[in-house]
Every structure is written in structure tokens, then in C-alpha cells.
Structure 1
Amino acid sequence: MLNKPASETGPRHVAIIMDGNGRWAQARGRPRLFGHHAGARRVREIVEACPDLRVKYVTIFAFSTENWKRTQVEVAGLMSLFRRYITKEAKALHDEGVRVRFIGDRVRLDKKLIAMMDELELLTAENDRVHLTIALNYGGRDEVARATKRLAQDVAAGKLNPEEVDEETLPRYLDTCVLPDPDLVIRTSGEARISNFLLWQSAYAEYEFIDTLWPDFSRDIFADLVKKYGARDRRFGAVKA
């Protein structure tokens, strides 16, 4: 039954485009990296809020394939921040029952960071309280292109009949193949665009574009958006009888 009463519905999977760190810092006369560090601290609060809000999966957009275009100083600072975040938060995430996954193309990332990502995924592999997915060097079009390449290789190898390829086939090759599609996508900072994030997966997601900058995004704001989602009438193309 697609059209469930609001009391029975809530976003099982929330995806977040964490925007506004740089502007938040600049408004305080600080360098952009100061805002990124503040934004990283905010992630912990939102992940901790998930169980009470019955959000099982949360996916955050940490670094896009387009973010390499930023200054060398900012990119280097972000990569250092990712390493620091993993080092600092690994034990706490594990102790809180959070399973961590990373999606995106790892080829361009440095070997030390990749090793740390692998270790965190392995450490938390048995956890099931909250599933935190971090999109790092991720782009929706890049993901679909990589998935299509793998699909084509299986067709060429005779593992897949091209006549049987349908819209249920490609998702099995996506980075998110083990995750449910997002129900709700939130973007902070007042920008109203999806920026190449989870393009295939978000076909039927609800969107919330809010003015709050990511470092100011609080547990209460998150709870309000989750509650608002529950009041929506989601028909998935159908109409009420």
C-alpha cells in the first residue's frame, strides 16, 4: 500500500546535502576550513538523533567529484579533515552501533585515506542501529557511468542477457546497491538544486531546501523536517480511490 497514513510513515532513509560551511565561516571572519570543521561536528549530532526519529539510514554528501575545482588549500584541508574525522570518530561510531559505508570513486583519493575508510567499514560492518553512508569523491553521473560500465562488462562476458536489462537491473551495479532509496533529501543553505547527488536513487524522494547553513543545522530542525515528511501525501504516481 503506497498511500499510508501519516502516522505510519516516516523517512527510513534521509540524504543530506550539507551546504553552507564556507559561508558560515566567512560570516564570522574565519577561513572556509573553519566552517568545514564546524560542519563535521554537526554530523555526530544528526547521526545520534536518528534512532529516536526512526531514521535507519542517513547519507551525507561530504565531497563531490566537482569539489576538486576548489583551491588546492581548501581541498588539502578537506582531505586532512576526513582523515581526522575517521580517526576521532571511529570508536564512538562503532560503540553507538553505527555502520559506516563510503560511496564514490576512490581512485583519486590518497592511499592513506582509502585505507582508513576500509578499516572503518570493516570495524562497523556488523552494526545495524544506524547506517551512515558518506559520499566522498561522489557524483551521481559518475556513479551511473561506472555502474553502466560494469553492467556492460557483464553483458560482454555473457553473465547478463541484454534483453533482460530493465530499471531493476542498473541499481544492482550502483554504489548504493545494498541501501534503500532515500525517502527524503535535505539541502541546507538556501540553494535549490541537487548538485549531482543520488540522481537515480532520488527519483521519488521528497525534497526540503532550507535556508539554514549546515553548521547551524540542529537536531530540532532535523526532527521538524522528519515530522513534516510524515504529513505528506505520497502517491508515487497513483491517485486515491
Structure 2
Amino acid sequence: MPDPTYGARHIAIIMDGNGRWAKRKHLPRALGHKKGVEAVRNIVRVAGKMGIEAMTLYAFSSENWNRPDEEISDLMGLLRQYIQSDIEEFVENGIRLKVIGNYKALDDDIVGMIDNAIERTAANDKMTLAVALNYGAQDELLRATQEIAAAVKNGRLDPEEIETGHISAALDTADLPPLDLLIRTSGELRLSNFLLWQAAYSELYFTDVLWPDFDQKELEKALKSFGDRERRFGGR
């Protein structure tokens, strides 16, 4: 039986296009975000059934604080609902929740919900769902650099011995498999400060499909594209 993942262990998605989806349908922007949450729920279920080991979703970037207060409030409300409604399903289906980024800067009640969900799913091993909240790759690299600098300052690490592995180990994704495939929806062709180190040799897949319309068929298309490529990692 063919592998539905085409060998991809870890995929990441920049979920873009909720606002444009709503605009095209003459709906409030908040409804676009709500539809986007439904797409998250469906894709997580599909990925788990396919056998994907880890999936990282770009949910809220450190730059998203520049959005209107009303939109941020809507997004945080949807985050609360998602955690409350789906945590039992995570537990039942063996999904481990991980959060990357500085989620501790969010409202206290959200932090409490996240901490509880992380604790309750910590032993699950079917799939890891990593959600990027208040995340920016440059900030992640800065924090990793500070951690390594502290190790050098304390005499625990010789500057001459620093290798790429030290950086990878200091990143938020240290316990995840290497990133194989990074998907971006909505037709934008940029990484938007997402997993910059991890994406060094990942395959990139861009689609014009808006995130609320990204379903199992679209995920399968992205994985098929990944499977058709020859990964050389700079070797030739």
C-alpha cells in the first residue's frame, strides 16, 4: 500500500487567506477566521489518519499584534473555543499539543488553557501538532543565540565548538523531526518570518487556494508534489 505521506514526516502550513475568503463571499472577516478554524480541525484529523508525525501551523505571528484590536479579540476568542472544544479529541486520538513562540504573553486564561492542554496530551505519540502563537522566526533565532551565548559565558561551551546542531537544539522545534514540507495558501510567495532556520532544505509548496478551502484533497496534492521531487540537500 503506497505511503499517503510520500515520506514526509513533518509538514508546516502558513494558513493564509481567511480575510480574502470572507471578502469574496461578502461576509464579515470574523467569519473567515471561524471558517479557517474549521479547516484547521479537518486538516489535523486528516494528517493524523495519514500518519504524519508532526504538523506545525502558523496561527498567530508576533507581527499580527499590528492588526485591529477587534480582529485580535476575535482571533483570541476562536483560540479559546478551539482549545476547549478539541482537547478531548486530541486526548482520544493520541495527538500531542506543542506550542512554539512566546505564548506566555497572551491573556492569562489562554495561557492556562494551553498549559493544561499541553500537560494532558504530553504522553500522546500518534502525531504532534505544533501551533505557532506569538511566533516569529527571527525572535526564535535571537532567543537561541542568547541561550548559546549564555552557555559560552558560563564556560559550558567553547565558541570554537559551536555547530549548527547547537542552534537546532536551542530552537522551539528541537524535539520535532526535520521539516520536510512547508505549505503556504492564498497565492502569497513568501515565508513571512516562519521557520526560517528549519526551512533551509525543506520543500516549498505554494497554492492559490485560500486557507478555509484547503481540505484533504489539497493536502494530498501538496504531498504528491513533495513526493515527485528529488531532494538533494545541496549535494548535487
TM range (shorter): over 0.9
Higher helix proportion (structure 1 or 2): 2
TM-score under structure 2 normalisation? Answer: 0.95
Structure 1's 191 and 155: CA in aligned 2 closer, same or farther, altered over 3 A? same
The number of residue pairs the alignment matches comes to 234
Equivalent position of 1:12 in the other structure:
9
Q: Give the 3-state SS of the residue equivalent to 1:168 in structure 2.
A: helix
The structure 2 residue matched to 1:123, chosen from 120, 127, 151, is 120
**Deviating more after overlay: 186-195 vs 163-172:** 163-172
The unaligned stretches of length 5 or more in structure 1 are 1-5
Contact 1:53 1:226 in 2 (8 A): no
Equivalent position of 1:98 in the other structure:
95
Q: CA deviation at 1:70?
A: 0.3
Q: Which amino acid aligns with 1:34?
A: L
Equivalent position of 1:213 in the other structure:
210
CA distances 1:213-234 after superposition (whole Å, capped 9, x unpaired)? 0000010110121122111111
Contact 1:140 1:196 in 2 (8 A): yes
Q: CA deviation at 1:8?
A: 9.8
CA distances 1:164-223 after superposition (whole Å, capped 9, x unpaired)? 111111111111111122100000001010000000001000001100000000101101
The structure 2 residue matched to 1:197, chosen from 187, 194, 198, is 194
Q: Which amino acid aligns with 2:145?
A: T
For residues 73-222 of structure 1, the aligned pairs below 5 Å read: 73-222=70-219
Percent of residue pairs identical:
45
Q: Does 1:236 align with 2:227?
A: no
Q: Cα RMSD over matched residues? A: 1.6
Contact 1:10 1:54 in 2 (8 A): no
Contact 2:95 2:129 in 1 (8 A): yes
Q: Does 1:46 align with 2:43?
A: yes
Q: CA deviation at 1:122?
A: 0.6
Q: Which amino acid aligns with 2:66?
A: K
CA distances 1:52-72 after superposition (whole Å, capped 9, x unpaired)? 433111100000010000001
Q: Does 1:21 align with 2:33?
A: no
The unaligned stretches of length 5 or more in structure 2 are none
